[in-house]
């Protein structure tokens, strides 16, 4: 049993390394395109950030999801978790796309929290896709009427 645990967590960490290194390769490619074309590539940056950082979040929550698959019952969704954690994480995950809007109303009201985080260069915007991926995968569970769960 202990050997299985070691193997399981080795595989999880290996998957995270694969995602991180392949993501780094893709982000370097986007940076080269940005340098050569002077086009900020906001859409691609946001999409790749969500895909790669979100994948790390999915991998981190994979153990929960696998445990739920083994249970009996019908699939259900934890809606408050999706609404209160998933939607704000999606909002901040789309930072580069929403930042590129040139509509003054959006910039002054809706995008203000994003601009605050972007200007500070704190790196916290990268955390939100990770939270989004983790929230999505851990929001699913099996509802079993017989057990009352």
How far apart are the C-alpha atoms of 27 and 75, rounded to whole Å? 36
Out of 86-95, 117-126, 139-148, least confident range: 117-126
Q: What is the pLDDT of residue 121?
A: 67
**Tell me: the pLDDT tens digits for 72-115?**
989 999 999 999 999 999 988 887 777 677 777 766 777 777 77
Q: What is the pLDDT of residue 94?
A: 82
Rg, C-alpha atoms of the chain: 19
Which of 68, 59, 75 minimizes the C-alpha distance to 18?
59
HEC assignment per residue over 103-136: CHHHHHHHCHHHHHHHHHCCCHHHHHHHHHHHHH
The answer to whether the CB of 144 falls within 8 A of the CB of 91 is: no
**Token pair recorded at residue 76:** 């259900």
**Token pair recorded at residue 78:** 């934890």
∠103-105-108 over CA atoms, to 5°?
Answer: 105
The answer to whether the CB of 149 falls within 8 A of the CB of 143 is: yes
pLDDT at 147 over 60: no
Q: What is the average pLDDT across 12-20? A: 95
Residue 61 vs residues 25, 64, 66, 67, 138: alpha-carbon distances, Å: 24, 6, 9, 10, 6
How far apart are the C-alpha atoms of 132 and 112, rounded to whole Å? 20
Confidence band, pLDDT 50/70/90 cuts, at residue 146: low
**Average of per-residue pLDDT values in the chain:** 86
Q: What is the pLDDT of residue 111?
A: 74
Residue 18 vs residues 48, 98, 139: alpha-carbon distances, Å: 15, 29, 25
């Amino acid at each position: 049993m202990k050997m299985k645990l070691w193997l399981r967590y080795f595989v999880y960490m290996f998957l995270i390394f694969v995602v991180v290194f392949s993501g780094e390769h893709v982000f370097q490619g986007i940076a080269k395109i940005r340098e050569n074309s002077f086009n900020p590539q906001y859409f691609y940056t946001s999409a790749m950030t969500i895909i790669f950082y979100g994948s790390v979040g999915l991998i981190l929550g994979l153990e929960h999801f696998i445990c739920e698959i083994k249970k009996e019952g019908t699939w259900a969704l934890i809606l408050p978790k999706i609404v209160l954690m998933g939607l704000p994480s999606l909002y901040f995950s789309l930072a580069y796309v929403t930042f590129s809007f040139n509509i003054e109303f959006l910039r002054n009201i809706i995008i203000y929290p994003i601009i605050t985080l972007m200007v500070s260069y704190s790196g916290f915007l990268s955390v939100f896709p990770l939270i989004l991926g983790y929230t999505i995968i851990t929001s699913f569970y099996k509802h079993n009427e017989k057990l009352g769960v």
